[in-house]
Amino acid sequence: MPRKPTPQTTPLRHIAFIMDGNGRWARRRGMPREMGHRAGAKTFRRVVDHCDKIGIQAVTVYAFSTENWSRPPEEINSIMELLSDFLTEAFDRPEDQVEIRFLGDKSVFELPLRGRLEQLEQRTTGRKSRLNIALNYGSRAEIVHSVNTAIKEGKRQLAEDDISTALYTADCPDPDMIVRTGGDMRLSNFLLWQGAYAELYFTDTLWPDFTPRHVDKAVKEYYRRHRRYGGL
Protein backbone atom coordinates (compact mmCIF):
# COMPACT_ATOMS: atom_id res chain seq x y z
CA MET A 1 0.00 0.00 0.00
CA PRO A 2 1.41 3.45 -0.85
CA ARG A 3 1.91 5.66 2.17
CA LYS A 4 -0.76 8.23 2.87
CA PRO A 5 0.57 11.70 2.13
CA THR A 6 1.39 13.72 5.24
CA PRO A 7 -0.66 16.90 5.49
CA GLN A 8 1.24 19.99 4.38
CA THR A 9 0.71 21.62 7.76
CA THR A 10 3.02 19.22 9.63
CA PRO A 11 3.80 21.05 12.85
CA LEU A 12 7.38 22.12 13.38
CA ARG A 13 8.45 19.64 16.02
CA HIS A 14 12.16 19.46 15.33
CA ILE A 15 14.42 22.25 14.13
CA ALA A 16 18.12 21.87 13.39
CA PHE A 17 20.76 24.58 13.16
CA ILE A 18 24.08 24.64 11.35
CA MET A 19 25.62 27.33 13.52
CA ASP A 20 28.00 28.85 10.99
CA GLY A 21 29.77 32.19 10.75
CA ASN A 22 31.49 32.58 14.11
CA GLY A 23 34.94 33.08 12.59
CA ARG A 24 33.80 35.69 10.09
CA TRP A 25 31.85 37.52 12.78
CA ALA A 26 35.06 37.87 14.82
CA ARG A 27 37.23 38.75 11.83
CA ARG A 28 34.90 41.59 10.88
CA ARG A 29 35.50 43.03 14.32
CA GLY A 30 39.25 42.55 14.16
CA MET A 31 39.03 39.92 16.89
CA PRO A 32 40.47 36.39 17.06
CA ARG A 33 38.19 33.59 15.85
CA GLU A 34 37.88 32.31 19.41
CA MET A 35 35.86 35.41 20.29
CA GLY A 36 33.44 34.49 17.55
CA HIS A 37 32.95 31.07 19.10
CA ARG A 38 32.41 32.68 22.48
CA ALA A 39 29.73 34.96 21.04
CA GLY A 40 28.28 31.97 19.19
CA ALA A 41 27.96 30.03 22.44
CA LYS A 42 25.82 32.84 23.87
CA THR A 43 23.63 32.77 20.78
CA PHE A 44 23.27 29.02 21.15
CA ARG A 45 21.86 29.39 24.68
CA ARG A 46 19.45 32.15 23.67
CA VAL A 47 18.23 30.30 20.59
CA VAL A 48 17.71 26.99 22.44
CA ASP A 49 15.79 28.74 25.24
CA HIS A 50 13.65 30.53 22.69
CA CYS A 51 12.83 27.35 20.77
CA ASP A 52 11.73 25.77 24.03
CA LYS A 53 9.62 28.82 24.86
CA ILE A 54 7.77 28.71 21.55
CA GLY A 55 7.00 25.02 21.98
CA ILE A 56 9.44 23.31 19.63
CA GLN A 57 10.00 19.83 21.07
CA ALA A 58 13.41 19.05 19.64
CA VAL A 59 16.40 21.16 18.67
CA THR A 60 19.57 19.84 17.08
CA VAL A 61 22.67 21.97 16.72
CA TYR A 62 25.81 21.28 14.73
CA ALA A 63 28.56 22.22 17.16
CA PHE A 64 31.64 20.41 15.87
CA SER A 65 32.06 18.25 12.79
CA THR A 66 34.48 15.38 12.19
CA GLU A 67 36.08 17.69 9.60
CA ASN A 68 36.56 20.52 12.12
CA TRP A 69 39.54 18.63 13.63
CA SER A 70 41.54 20.02 10.71
CA ARG A 71 41.44 23.49 12.29
CA PRO A 72 44.39 24.93 14.24
CA PRO A 73 44.79 23.33 17.71
CA GLU A 74 44.26 26.66 19.53
CA GLU A 75 40.88 27.09 17.88
CA ILE A 76 39.88 23.50 18.68
CA ASN A 77 40.95 24.01 22.31
CA SER A 78 38.86 27.13 22.63
CA ILE A 79 35.79 25.31 21.28
CA MET A 80 36.38 22.44 23.74
CA GLU A 81 36.66 24.93 26.59
CA LEU A 82 33.31 26.39 25.63
CA LEU A 83 31.90 22.88 25.61
CA SER A 84 33.25 22.33 29.09
CA ASP A 85 31.65 25.62 30.26
CA PHE A 86 28.36 24.47 28.79
CA LEU A 87 28.57 21.16 30.66
CA THR A 88 29.32 22.87 33.98
CA GLU A 89 26.37 25.18 33.48
CA ALA A 90 24.05 22.34 32.47
CA PHE A 91 24.95 20.33 35.59
CA ASP A 92 24.18 23.45 37.64
CA ARG A 93 20.67 23.68 36.27
CA PRO A 94 18.85 20.54 37.42
CA GLU A 95 15.56 22.39 37.06
CA ASP A 96 15.90 22.52 33.26
CA GLN A 97 13.41 20.39 31.40
CA VAL A 98 15.58 19.49 28.42
CA GLU A 99 16.96 16.06 27.69
CA ILE A 100 20.44 16.42 26.24
CA ARG A 101 22.02 14.02 23.76
CA PHE A 102 25.37 14.26 22.01
CA LEU A 103 25.29 13.02 18.43
CA GLY A 104 28.60 11.73 17.18
CA ASP A 105 31.43 9.44 18.15
CA LYS A 106 32.19 10.27 21.78
CA SER A 107 34.97 7.68 22.02
CA VAL A 108 37.52 10.19 20.66
CA PHE A 109 37.08 12.32 23.77
CA GLU A 110 39.27 11.41 26.67
CA LEU A 111 38.21 11.14 30.26
CA PRO A 112 37.08 13.13 32.17
CA LEU A 113 35.35 14.96 29.29
CA ARG A 114 33.79 11.81 27.86
CA GLY A 115 32.47 10.86 31.28
CA ARG A 116 30.86 14.25 31.71
CA LEU A 117 29.15 14.02 28.33
CA GLU A 118 27.70 10.63 29.22
CA GLN A 119 26.77 11.70 32.73
CA LEU A 120 24.84 14.71 31.44
CA GLU A 121 22.96 12.49 29.02
CA GLN A 122 22.01 10.13 31.84
CA ARG A 123 21.04 12.91 34.22
CA THR A 124 18.74 14.58 31.74
CA THR A 125 17.03 11.42 30.50
CA GLY A 126 13.25 11.49 30.49
CA ARG A 127 12.87 15.27 30.39
CA LYS A 128 10.13 16.71 28.25
CA SER A 129 11.96 18.38 25.36
CA ARG A 130 15.15 17.41 23.53
CA LEU A 131 18.42 19.11 22.70
CA ASN A 132 20.79 17.20 20.43
CA ILE A 133 24.31 18.54 20.20
CA ALA A 134 26.21 17.19 17.21
CA LEU A 135 29.79 16.86 18.35
CA ASN A 136 32.51 15.09 16.44
CA TYR A 137 29.63 14.40 14.11
CA GLY A 138 29.69 13.40 10.47
CA SER A 139 26.57 12.16 8.75
CA ARG A 140 28.24 9.72 6.37
CA ALA A 141 30.16 8.11 9.22
CA GLU A 142 26.89 7.91 11.17
CA ILE A 143 25.19 6.06 8.31
CA VAL A 144 28.13 3.67 7.90
CA HIS A 145 28.11 3.04 11.67
CA SER A 146 24.41 2.30 11.51
CA VAL A 147 24.83 -0.17 8.65
CA ASN A 148 27.68 -1.88 10.48
CA THR A 149 25.49 -2.19 13.57
CA ALA A 150 22.87 -3.98 11.50
CA ILE A 151 25.52 -6.29 10.01
CA LYS A 152 26.78 -7.14 13.50
CA GLU A 153 23.22 -8.03 14.45
CA GLY A 154 23.30 -10.56 11.64
CA LYS A 155 21.01 -8.71 9.22
CA ARG A 156 21.78 -9.41 5.59
CA GLN A 157 19.26 -7.23 3.87
CA LEU A 158 18.37 -3.84 5.27
CA ALA A 159 15.15 -1.87 5.28
CA GLU A 160 15.07 1.90 5.83
CA ASP A 161 14.03 1.38 9.42
CA ASP A 162 17.08 -0.78 10.12
CA ILE A 163 19.24 2.22 9.28
CA SER A 164 17.08 4.89 10.99
CA THR A 165 16.88 2.99 14.25
CA ALA A 166 20.65 2.69 14.59
CA LEU A 167 21.42 6.36 13.89
CA TYR A 168 22.38 8.69 16.75
CA THR A 169 18.95 10.32 16.34
CA ALA A 170 17.06 7.01 16.60
CA ASP A 171 14.56 8.16 19.23
CA CYS A 172 13.91 11.57 17.69
CA PRO A 173 11.64 12.52 14.80
CA ASP A 174 13.41 13.69 11.64
CA PRO A 175 14.13 17.42 11.50
CA ASP A 176 11.29 19.39 9.94
CA MET A 177 13.59 22.25 9.10
CA ILE A 178 17.35 22.72 8.85
CA VAL A 179 18.55 26.31 9.26
CA ARG A 180 22.04 27.32 8.21
CA THR A 181 23.41 30.72 9.15
CA GLY A 182 26.50 32.37 7.66
CA GLY A 183 25.48 32.53 4.01
CA ASP A 184 26.74 29.20 2.67
CA MET A 185 24.18 26.93 1.08
CA ARG A 186 25.36 23.45 1.89
CA LEU A 187 24.83 20.76 4.50
CA SER A 188 28.49 20.06 5.31
CA ASN A 189 27.85 16.41 6.22
CA PHE A 190 24.95 17.15 8.59
CA LEU A 191 21.82 14.96 8.95
CA LEU A 192 21.97 13.67 5.38
CA TRP A 193 19.66 10.74 6.08
CA GLN A 194 17.35 12.41 8.57
CA GLY A 195 17.03 15.58 6.50
CA ALA A 196 15.69 13.78 3.40
CA TYR A 197 12.49 15.84 3.54
CA ALA A 198 13.54 18.70 5.79
CA GLU A 199 12.75 22.21 4.71
CA LEU A 200 16.04 24.03 4.17
CA TYR A 201 16.46 27.61 5.32
CA PHE A 202 19.58 29.60 4.58
CA THR A 203 20.35 33.03 5.92
CA ASP A 204 23.32 35.37 5.51
CA THR A 205 23.10 36.33 9.18
CA LEU A 206 26.23 35.13 10.97
CA TRP A 207 25.51 32.81 13.88
CA PRO A 208 26.55 35.24 16.66
CA ASP A 209 24.10 37.80 15.20
CA PHE A 210 21.24 35.28 15.04
CA THR A 211 18.52 36.21 17.56
CA PRO A 212 15.16 34.83 18.75
CA ARG A 213 13.60 37.26 16.26
CA HIS A 214 15.46 35.47 13.46
CA VAL A 215 14.16 32.13 14.80
CA ASP A 216 10.61 33.50 14.64
CA LYS A 217 11.20 34.58 11.04
CA ALA A 218 12.43 31.09 10.10
CA VAL A 219 9.45 29.46 11.83
CA LYS A 220 7.07 31.77 10.00
CA GLU A 221 8.71 30.83 6.72
CA TYR A 222 8.33 27.15 7.62
CA TYR A 223 4.58 27.50 7.93
CA ARG A 224 4.44 29.16 4.51
CA ARG A 225 6.11 26.15 2.87
CA HIS A 226 4.11 23.37 1.25
CA ARG A 227 5.58 20.00 2.19
CA ARG A 228 4.48 17.72 -0.59
CA TYR A 229 6.61 14.61 0.07
CA GLY A 230 6.38 13.80 -3.58
CA GLY A 231 2.60 14.15 -3.61
CA LEU A 232 0.48 16.98 -4.94
Q: Which of 168, 171, 130, 175 is CA-nearest to residue 14? A: 175
The span from the CA of 215 to the CA of 213, in Å, is: 5
Q: Which amino acid appears at position 139 of this protein?
A: S
63 CB burial (10 A radius; 0-12, 13-18, 19+): buried
Q: Which residue in 18, 56, 166, 218 binds ligand IPE (CB under 6 A)?
A: 18
With CB under 6 A, what is the number of residues at the site for ligand IPE? Answer: 17
Which are the catalytic amino acids?
20, 68
The minimum distance between CB 154 and ligand IPE, in angstroms, equals 35
* Cβ-based nearer residue to Mg ion, 24 or 114: 24
Pairing of strands 14-18, 58-65: parallel
Stretch that binds Mg ion, among 13-21, 139-147, 148-156, 215-223 (CB under 5 A): 13-21
Q: Which residues contact 97 (CB under 8 A, 6 or more apart)?
A: 52, 127, 128, 129
Q: Is 232 buried (19+), middle (13-18) or exposed (0-12) by CB count in 10 A?
A: exposed
Which x/- pattern, by CB under 6 A, does the window 39-68 give for ligand IPE?
-----------------------xxxx--x
Q: Cα separation of 34 and 79, whole Å?
A: 8
Task: State yes or no: residue 23 binds ligand IPE (CB under 6 A).
Answer: yes
CB of 220 to Mg ion, least distance (A): 26
| Contacting ligand IPE within 176-215 (CB under 6 A) | 182, 184, 186, 188
Q: Pick between residue 31 and residue 170 the one whose CB is nearest to Mg ion.
A: 31
Binding residues for ligand IPE restricted to 163-182, rule: CB under 6 A: 182
Can you give the binding site for ligand IPE, defined by CB under 6 A?
Answer: 18-24, 62-65, 68, 79, 182, 184, 186, 188
